[in-house]
Amino acid sequence: MSRDHDQYEENVGAYLLGALTELEAEVFERHVATCATCRHDFEHMRVASEALPRAVEPVIPPDSLKKSLMEIVNAEAREREKVARSSSWRDRLRMPQLRPAFALGMVAVLAVGVAIGVGVAGIGGGSSSQKTVAAVVDHASAPMGSADLVVNSDRAKGAVIKLEGMPQPGPNRIYEVWIHRGGQFVPAGALFGVNHGGSGSAAIPADLNGVDTVAITREQQGGTQQPTETPVMTFKLA
Amino acid sequence: MHVVQGGDPRAFEVLYDRHGGAAFSLAYRMVGKRAVAEDIVQESFLSIWRSKVRYERERGSVRTWVLGIVHHRTIDALRRNLVHDRRRASAEGIEERQEAPELTDVEAARREEAREVRAALQALPGEQSRVIELAYYGGFTHTQIAEMLDMPVGTVKGRMRLGLEKMRRELTGEVA
């Protein structure tokens, strides 16, 4: 058991109570995704933390809250229905989507350029010190998934990925980040899990100079040296 | 839940009717202002409706899941300083508390459960219940609590852990 582990173990209670900062919580979640001891402690103690909201004295919300909520929901439902109706003819014409093997998938992404969902934009009020690249998501693997890759202008400093709406990677599995450099994919040195809500993040410590694509796959815990699945999502840097 | 997230407003309304009260009570307990609590509950339920957060059955009940979302959003609001001059409703007296008008079987069971949880919390040594309440209901980080109580961060985290462990034993009836 490492000293690092002891530090994470100490954080279980603070995490369950929401007493860690966002960054500390993300780091803790990454550790728990790979540590059976901490996961056991987490599952064990959350019985208590999840009981805490039930101890609160009941206060009746105003009727206006439900009214305004339902107005929004009903309006959005009508809008969704309208969009679904107007796009149904396109669905009938759409070519069936094959789920390609990893290499073929990447060739397709790189060759076609897949404009959908890819965007590069400055952040921080027009600052050019960072750029955000939106993910191209395999919606068969992550139907509600979305992610941004935030890259430093000095690519040697790596990048950070922030994800939302991701499914759990599955029992004994974890998400692994890859970088495509010199015609092949190599591990980026980042493994991560996602929280209950499907949010997660990963820091890429690798130098991204010469990297044209970053990809994420689901792999067995501990990671692998070669991707074994079609990417859940990719980021095109070049 | 998939019906709600699949876009059925009637299913969403049922979800709100079942859990909206508990959600509002929790947010109000934490921020102490009705208007802010309303905003938080609205944001939380809209994030569910818009499927930005997904329910997973294996992670617990729908109620636990909804209240977890509300708790996170309330902490975000507190830490973003959206709640200026925050007057937290203390455990001793919530000025604007309103009792539910009718005591259905479900409501009676929930009140009994609430009493059990409060009893488990009150049974803890004061230094443990204090850090738990400051963190969970107050939205303070472990470092803020350490500063407030003038004690090392490690002690705060240790008390949180010990307190939760004792509460768990109390709630599950497990003998130490």
Are A46 and A123 in a shared domain? no
Q: Alpha-carbon distance B127 to B120, whole Å?
A: 14
Has residue B97 got a pLDDT over 70? no
A163 backbone φψ class: left, alpha, beta (φ>0; ψ -120 to 50): beta
Percentage with pLDDT > 90 across chain B: 56
Are A232 and A125 in a shared domain? yes
Are A169 and A221 in a shared domain? yes
Q: Which of A187-201, B33-47, B133-147 has the lowest mean pLDDT?
A: A187-201
CB A150 within 8 A of CB A160: yes
Query: CB-based contact (8 Å) between A195 and chain B?
Result: no
pLDDT tens-digit profile of A7-38? 788 899 999 999 998 888 888 888 888 888 88
Are A174 and A190 in a shared domain? yes
Interface-testing mutation among A26, A32, A59, A164, with chain B (most B C-beta atoms within 10 A):
A59
Q: Alpha-carbon distance A198 to A169, whole Å?
A: 10
How many cross-chain Cβ pairs, A to B, lie less than 8 Å apart? 184
Residues 163-192 of A with CB under 8 A from B: 164-165, 167-168
Are A126 and A70 in a shared domain? no
Q: Which of A186, A181, A189 lies closest to A213, judged by CA? A: A181
Are A10 and A119 in a shared domain? no
Report ipTM (2 d.p.).
Answer: 0.81
List the single residue in A with minimal CA-CA distance to B42: A69
B103-176 — its CATH code?
1.10.10.10
Give pairs for A93-101: CB < 8 Å, separation 24+: A97/A140, A99/A138, A99/A140, A99/A230, A100/A230, A101/A230
Q: How many residues does chain A have?
A: 238
Q: Alpha-carbon distance A194 to A50, whole Å?
A: 19
Q: Alpha-carbon distance A175 to A221, whole Å?
A: 8
Predicted pLDDT at A61: 94
Cβ separation A70–B7 shorter than 8 A: no
Residues 89-108 of B with CB under 8 A from A: 94, 96-100
Cβ separation B54–A198 shorter than 8 A: yes
Q: Where are the beta strands (DSSP E) in A141-210?
A: 146-152, 159-164, 173-181, 184-192, 200-204
Cβ separation B20–A58 shorter than 8 A: no
- With b for 16 or more beta-carbon neighbours within 10 A and e for fewer, the A63-73 pattern comes to eebbeebbeeb
Which position has the higher pLDDT, B94 or B101? B101
Q: What is the mean pLDDT of residues A119-128?
A: 36
Are A121 and A231 in a shared domain? yes
SS3 category, B1: coil
B1-89 — its CATH code?
1.10.1740.10
pLDDT tens-digit profile of A56-112? 988 999 999 999 999 999 988 888 777 777 665 555 555 444 444 454 445 444 444
pTM as predicted: 0.59
- State the DSSP string of B26-43: HHHHHH--HHHHHHHHHH
pLDDT tens-digit profile of B65-76? 999 999 999 998
Has residue B150 got a pLDDT over 70? yes
Domain ranges in chain B?
Answer: 1-89, 103-176
Are A121 and A30 in a shared domain? no
SS3 category, A148: strand
- CATH number of the domain bearing residue A23: 1.10.10.1320
Predicted pLDDT at A15: 95
Q: Band the pLDDT of A192: cuts 50, 70, 90.
A: confident
Predicted pLDDT at B69: 92
Query: Which residue of A18, A48, A58 is in closest CB contact with B25?
Result: A58
Predicted pLDDT at B138: 92
Interface-testing mutation among B98, B164, B165, with chain A (most A C-beta atoms within 10 A):
B164
Are A22 and A83 in a shared domain? no
Q: Alpha-carbon distance A177 to A222, whole Å?
A: 12
CB A4 within 8 A of CB B125: no
Predicted pLDDT at B175: 60
Predicted pLDDT at B84: 41
Interface-testing mutation among A38, A39, A44, A54, with chain B (most B C-beta atoms within 10 A):
A54
Q: Alpha-carbon distance A232 to A145, whole Å?
A: 9
Total structural domains within chain A: 3
Q: Alpha-carbon distance A202 to B44, whole Å?
A: 25
The β-bridge partners of A164 are: A146
Are A69 and A164 in a shared domain? no
Q: Which of B5, B58, B54, B62 lies closest to A165, judged by CA? A: B54
Q: Alpha-carbon distance B73 to B27, whole Å?
A: 9
Predicted pLDDT at A109: 44
Are A37 and A144 in a shared domain? no
CB B148 within 8 A of CB A5: no
Are A174 and A226 in a shared domain? yes
Q: Where are the beta strands (DSSP E) in B56-142?
A: none
Q: Beta strands A173-181 and A211-220: pairing type?
A: antiparallel
What range does the domain containing A9 cover? Answer: 3-55
The pLDDT mean for chain B works out to 82
